[in-house]
Amino acid sequence: VGESWANLNPIKEEFGFTSRRKVAVLLPQIPPNPRRYTEREIRRATMSDEEHQFESKADAGASKTYPQQAGTIRKNGYIVIKNRPCKVVEVSTSKTGKHGHAKCHFVAIDIFNGKKLEDIVPSSHNCDVPHVNRTDYQLIDISEDGFVSLLTENGNTKDDLRLPTDEALLAQIKDGFAEGKDLVVSVMSAMGEEQINGLKDIGKN
């Protein structure tokens, strides 16, 4: 319908909705066509200013990347190229002429699929850099379809990861698990993706 959020104010004033069910509300300016408001819309309409600010900060904190000046990115650092999180394996800087800006030539490897990607960026411009995190989990089980069951710090299980595609690492995990070893896998995460990329044998007491 295209109403702005301001049009939700009459809902709060007249009905004071706190219900989590979908409801149909007739707006005064469009009486023939009632609009069905969802739980999320009603919740946002009844939120206080403080709650809106908190939600905005939470969204900002969940950003998958952050800006960094191209000229400050070094070898073994991270960069986003073609919307993929990459590790820089080579970087060189060149000038394009007397009045040209220095440019950085990045050669990088996708941290998840191993593909080589390249990009050229003016050194004074910002690049997107991925937030890359690593977390260790104890390996509990390996399913027949290639998924692993991992134990988190708080005692819950994580069952949404597959075995790695790297053949050497895959063999180490399978062999160690078959031998009954206590294994801890390292999981790398960036830009909404996760992958097992390391293994530790913690032994048995």
**10 Å Cβ neighbour count for 112?**
18
Residue 168 has pLDDT above 50, yes or no: yes
pLDDT of residue 72: 97
Q: Give the pLDDT band (50/70/90) at residue 26.
A: very low
* Residue-averaged pLDDT of the chain: 79
Contact 140, 131 (CB under 8 A): no
Each residue's pLDDT tens digit, 177-205? 999 999 999 999 999 999 999 998 776 54
Q: Under CATH, to which class is 65-130 assigned? A: mainly beta
Q: Give the pLDDT band (50/70/90) at residue 100.
A: confident
Phi and psi at residue 60, to the nearest 5°: -65, -40
pLDDT of residue 203: 63
Residue type, 165: T
Q: Which two tokens stand for residue 70?
A: 């191209």
pLDDT of residue 8: 56
pLDDT of residue 89: 98
Phi and psi at residue 67, to the nearest 5°: -80, 145
CATH superfamily of the domain spanning 133-201: Nucleic acid-binding proteins (2.40.50.140)
Residue type, 72: T
Contact 184, 153 (CB under 8 A): no
pLDDT greater at residue 54 or residue 98: 98
Query: Residues 6 or more apart from 113 whose CB is under 8 A from it?
Result: 84
What is the pTM (predicted TM-score) of this model? 0.65
Each residue's pLDDT tens digit, 58-78? 444 469 999 999 999 999 999
Contact 189, 196 (CB under 8 A): no
Q: Which two tokens stand for residue 29?
A: 């300016």
Each residue's pLDDT tens digit, 34-60? 445 555 555 555 555 444 444 444 444
- Map out the domains of the chain as residue ranges: 5-61, 65-130, 133-201
Query: Residues 6 or more apart from 191 whose CB is under 8 A from it?
Result: 64, 65, 80, 84, 85, 130, 131
Q: Which two tokens stand for residue 168?
A: 């050497």
Query: How long is the chain?
Result: 205
Q: Exposure of 148 by Cβ count < 10 A (0-12 exposed, 13-18 middle, 19+ buried)?
A: buried
What's the average model confidence in pLDDT over 24-30? Answer: 40
Q: Give the pLDDT band (50/70/90) at residue 14.
A: low
Element (H, E) at 176: helix 167-178
> What is the 8-class DSSP label of residue 146?
S
pLDDT of residue 202: 72
Contact 177, 142 (CB under 8 A): yes
Contact 125, 106 (CB under 8 A): no
